[in-house]
Structure 1
Amino acid sequence: MRVIAAVLGLFLVFAAATASAPVVAPGWQPIWVSALQRPGESFAPNWSGVGFGNQTVRQAIRVSDAGSILRLRLSNRFGTQPLRVRGATIARSAGGAAVYPDSLRPLTIDSATAFRIEPGEDAVTDPIPLPVRALERLTVTLYFADATGPATYHAQAQNTSYLAWDDHRADASGNAFTVNSSSWYYLAGVESEIGLPRRPAVALFGDSFTEGVGSTYDTHRNYPDRLAEYFAAQGNPRPVLNLGIGGNCLTVDSRWLGDSGLSRFRSEVLEQPGVGTVVILEGINDIWLDSRVMAQSAPVPGASAEQLIAGYRTLIAQAHTAGLRVLGATMLPAAGSAFGNGDRALYTARDRVRRAVNDWILTSGEYDAAVDTAAALADPADPNRLAPAFDSGDHLHPNDAGYAALAAAVAAVLN
């Protein structure tokens, strides 16, 4: 009960704050994004390696802020051939693969329902009149008549995507969508046209703790979604952008776990319109990389505290040059997890790096503000372990309650 009361207390402090934050000028602003990855293997089976042909993919998302005029950003960033989309729609979700028929809207580019995206490129659809509320669920449906080749995607969406054969882009029913995936494909973002000044977006940048591994699928209980809920409960929603990739490293690129934080920070954070603050929670995978076969990259030793701090300093400098406020979040405790499996000496040495970096985040003053997320989720009886009430079961990733606590800790520092 003390843990739950502390979480609620943090939320009430945040919700009582006055909405005096800066605003962004009229234009386009993302209200949902996805961190994109190269096609291939991941933690669960997915369709990215093969791609699609005469198939329809329906994907569910939840936007963090409201809008009346939308546009979508689709990406062939990691494709090796032109992506031909025969047709696409957007609609309000009716649950599962079903949609509300009166909300179905065709997606077009340059007024054409069929369009092509070149390899290495993104494309933006024409504006779509579709009023949506903050926290509303939408579906995006893409029909590929021709073989796409390997697909740019996001591996662990924490949401279910659906596949049907032939063209079912305009179906209201989900009956044709008989195969499921836990990834998103080609979706880079949903943007809302800003008619009046709006609060800047918060970009949450990191690894599986930001992505939401350990939260309940299809319930939007990861920390970015919970943070968006806090803003909505305050009566002043603002865009919250989830830029986490499970297993991602700050300093090392990986074919499986995504381009490093240093490699993707500019395109995913600095080039997003309307972002005012970025929260960085990343680094634990760098410490353990050489002990994880799934890294799928050249063997390297675990990162030192000095290497991680140098990486953070690079991101901080880039963000400040772009005029962003930067918050640093401490890495969560991992005692009892697979990171320390069977080798106490190795675990002790690696965890010493984690604690040294966390101390730097909290005391160096190089971030604009620091969030002690490690302390917020730690077991009061053992600060090197997650609190049992917050543990998803692997002693590494939070559960739904843990992500609520993480969001509350971040919310208490944001303004």
Structure 2
Amino acid sequence: MNSRKDIPRTRTRIARCFIAATALTAGLMGCGGGGGGGDSGASSLEGNRYASWTASMMDATQVRAGTTPVVEVFNNQSVRQVLRLSLGGDRVRIKVSNLFGKASITVSGAEVARSTGGSGIDVASSRVVTFDGQPTVTLAAGEELLSDPIAFSATPLTPMAVTMYFASPNVLDTVHALGRQTAYIGIGNQLSAATIAATEADQRQSYYGLTVVETASAEKANVVVMFGDSITDGDKSTVDASKRLPNQLDDRLKAAGFARTGVVNSGIAGNRWLIDVFGPNANSRFDRDVLGVAGVTHTIVFLGINDLRNSFRFPAQAVTTDQVIASMATAVAKAKAKGLKVLVGTIMPCKGETFCPASVDADRQVVNAWIRANRDADGVIDFDRVMQNPTAPAEINPVYDSGDHLHPNDVGYGAMAAAVDLAKLR
């Protein structure tokens, strides 16, 4: 049972996993994705595999209007990244990513442990991460790799810290920029350190090269992938508080007794359906960030405001409502073909935000009318009506407004989570 052939090894570039329709099933299994919860060869060793936390990756070197690319170089440094698992299990695996790397990177060591808050961990819970039995792993440019199974007992909503050590200079181009969770950077190998004494200058709010944590259990589970932009990603939610929309939906599910229904976040702040600006466009990443998620059974598709706003802001990047609608329809069709249940969220109001004039609101109404009339999806979540100001429906309700007239505050994200019919996630 412990021979190397019994331990599934996912060392295939994402692009290869979808290279031919005739090899689709095998490719998904080889990439650690798919609704079946993992390949049968792994099941005797680790049970059914389910994504329990995800962060969609983007290229840190990508030039964006009004921003300066920030690429981290880690050298003889440890990076402790904190997250919250959605599903419990007996074992975990992590997926490390160099998907957008321009050169190889080497992770000299990694450990997982229960987070005790801040940079602290429960040292007794710390476990070494291995890849094909080795504690060190090198990823080529464009590569993602799933670790060996790690004996680690976790209950739903367990806080976890993943610490990675980079002994030599490594350029981390592959990131999830908007973490809303503090990462701690310390000098030297601090994989097992109870805390990492990181000054504010050595703290970040992004995830570096860490894209998935899976849990394994003999119990079957549902996995809900929330696919969207900055509102799904949790922009303006309280840092280190797990108040993003997916987190608060997860809280509702667990409080209602849905211990084996998980929610993972595939949002990227600034993301659009049709143009690569903040992360790869949604059309291009849907296969990887939704269909390729281990154990996925449901998806909530909630995206489009950035296509509309930026069509006004940057006329050279303008897209039509027909193009946005076609993108949504394609995503729904792909998910249904995979056997997933699909819910689609209407686009929220944004009057008062700098790039949301009346013309953008008119386009928003066109797209929302299509969403409400759609019969291919399994349901609609009418975020527009939930979040609008009762006396000025083109504006977000002031009670829910973070202050920028576009993103909700923590209370607003809670109202959105409350709008989801939990029965549709069974």
Q: Residues 161 and 180 of structure 1 are in contact (CA less than 8 Å); yes or no, is this contact kept in structure 2?
A: yes
SS in 2 for 1:84: strand
The partner residue of 1:299 within 306, 313, 316 is 316
**Equivalents in 1 of 2:110, 2:69: separation in Å?**
18
Give how far 1:151 is off: 2.5
AA aligned opposite 2:175: Y
Which position in structure 1 is the counterpart of 2:236?
A: 214
Q: Residues 78 and 164 of structure 2 are in contact (CA less than 8 Å); yes or no, is this contact kept in structure 1?
A: yes
AA aligned opposite 1:65: L
Structure 1 vs Structure 2 CA RMSD? 2.2
SS in 2 for 1:407: helix
Q: Which runs of 5+ in 1 are unaligned?
A: 1-21, 341-346
Note if 1:248 corresponds to 2:271.
yes
The partner residue of 2:355 within 307, 332, 339 is 339
**Equivalents in 2 of 1:184, 1:106: separation in Å?**
20
State the 4+ residue runs in structure 1 displaced beyond 4 angstroms: 22-26, 41-48, 290-293
SS in 1 for 2:115: strand
Which position in structure 2 is the counterpart of 1:289?
A: 310
Q: 1:348 to 1:44 in 2, by over 3 A?
A: closer
Which position in structure 1 is the counterpart of 2:155?
A: 133
Note if 1:172 corresponds to 2:194.
yes
Give how far 1:175 is off: 2.0
Q: Residues 204 and 242 of structure 1 are in contact (CA less than 8 Å); yes or no, is this contact kept in structure 2?
A: yes
**Equivalents in 2 of 1:299, 1:74: separation in Å?**
36
Q: Residues 278 and 326 of structure 1 are in contact (CA less than 8 Å); yes or no, is this contact kept in structure 2?
A: yes
**Equivalents in 2 of 1:264, 1:392: separation in Å?**
28
Deviation string for 1:292-319 (max 9, x for gaps)? 57xxxx9312x22211111111111111
Q: 1:134 to 1:27 in 2, by over 3 A?
A: same
Q: Residues 310 and 355 of structure 2 are in contact (CA less than 8 Å); yes or no, is this contact kept in structure 1?
A: no
Identity of matched residues, %: 33
Q: Residues 184 and 198 of structure 2 are in contact (CA less than 8 Å); yes or no, is this contact kept in structure 1?
A: no
AA aligned opposite 1:188: T
AA aligned opposite 1:383: P
**Equivalents in 1 of 2:373, 2:301: separation in Å?**
16
Note if 1:59 corresponds to 2:59.
no
Give how far 1:137 is off: 0.8
SS in 2 for 1:391: coil
Which position in structure 2 is the counterpart of 1:274?
A: 295
Note if 1:402 corresponds to 2:425.
no
**Equivalents in 2 of 1:42, 1:54: separation in Å?**
30
Give how far 1:35 is off: 0.6
Give how far 1:273 is off: 2.1
Which position in structure 1 is the counterpart of 2:28?
A: none
Deviation string for 1:272-292 (max 9, x for gaps)? 121111111100000122455
Deviation string for 1:183-224 (max 9, x for gaps)? 0001111111121222x2001000011001111111001110
Give how far 1:51 is off: 2.4
Q: Which runs of 5+ in 2 are unaligned?
A: 1-34, 39-46
Give how far 1:43 is off: 10
- Which range is displaced more, 403-412 or 155-164? 403-412
**Equivalents in 2 of 1:210, 1:69: separation in Å?**
28
SS in 2 for 1:175: coil
Q: Residues 164 and 177 of structure 1 are in contact (CA less than 8 Å); yes or no, is this contact kept in structure 2?
A: no
Give how far 1:371 is off: 0.9
Note if 1:192 corresponds to 2:215.
yes
Which position in structure 2 is the counterpart of 1:10?
A: none
Note if 1:357 corresponds to 2:370.
no
Q: Residues 214 and 397 of structure 1 are in contact (CA less than 8 Å); yes or no, is this contact kept in structure 2?
A: yes
Q: Residues 226 and 267 of structure 2 are in contact (CA less than 8 Å); yes or no, is this contact kept in structure 1?
A: yes
Deviation string for 1:318-337 (max 9, x for gaps)? 11111111111000100111
Which position in structure 2 is the counterpart of 1:12?
A: none
AA aligned opposite 1:261: A
SS in 1 for 2:300: strand
Which position in structure 2 is the counterpart of 1:18?
A: none
Q: 1:60 to 1:44 in 2, by over 3 A?
A: farther
Which position in structure 2 is the counterpart of 1:111?
A: 133
Q: Residues 50 and 149 of structure 1 are in contact (CA less than 8 Å); yes or no, is this contact kept in structure 2?
A: yes
Q: Residues 98 and 172 of structure 2 are in contact (CA less than 8 Å); yes or no, is this contact kept in structure 1?
A: no
Note if 1:384 corresponds to 2:400.
no
Q: Residues 373 and 410 of structure 1 are in contact (CA less than 8 Å); yes or no, is this contact kept in structure 2?
A: no
Which position in structure 1 is the counterpart of 2:204?
A: 181
Note if 1:317 corresponds to 2:327.
no
Q: Residues 45 and 181 of structure 1 are in contact (CA less than 8 Å); yes or no, is this contact kept in structure 2?
A: no
Which position in structure 1 is the counterpart of 2:26?
A: none
Q: 1:215 to 1:46 in 2, by over 3 A?
A: farther
Give how far 1:133 is off: 1.5
SS in 2 for 1:338: coil
- Which range is displaced more, 212-221 or 41-50? 41-50
Q: Residues 46 and 183 of structure 1 are in contact (CA less than 8 Å); yes or no, is this contact kept in structure 2?
A: no
Which position in structure 1 is the counterpart of 2:179?
A: 157
Which position in structure 1 is the counterpart of 2:262?
A: 239
After superposition, where does 1:16-95 map in structure 2 within 5 Å? Answer: 26-40=47-61, 49-95=71-117
TM-score of the superposed pair, with normalisation by structure 1: 0.87
**Equivalents in 1 of 2:394, 2:198: separation in Å?**
48
Give how far 1:121 is off: 1.0
SS in 1 for 2:227: strand
Deviation string for 1:146-179 (max 9, x for gaps)? 1112431100011111111221111112225661
Give how far 1:414 is off: 2.4
Q: Residues 351 and 358 of structure 2 are in contact (CA less than 8 Å); yes or no, is this contact kept in structure 1?
A: no
- Which range is displaced more, 208-217 or 174-183? 174-183
AA aligned opposite 2:217: I
**Equivalents in 1 of 2:67, 2:126: separation in Å?**
30
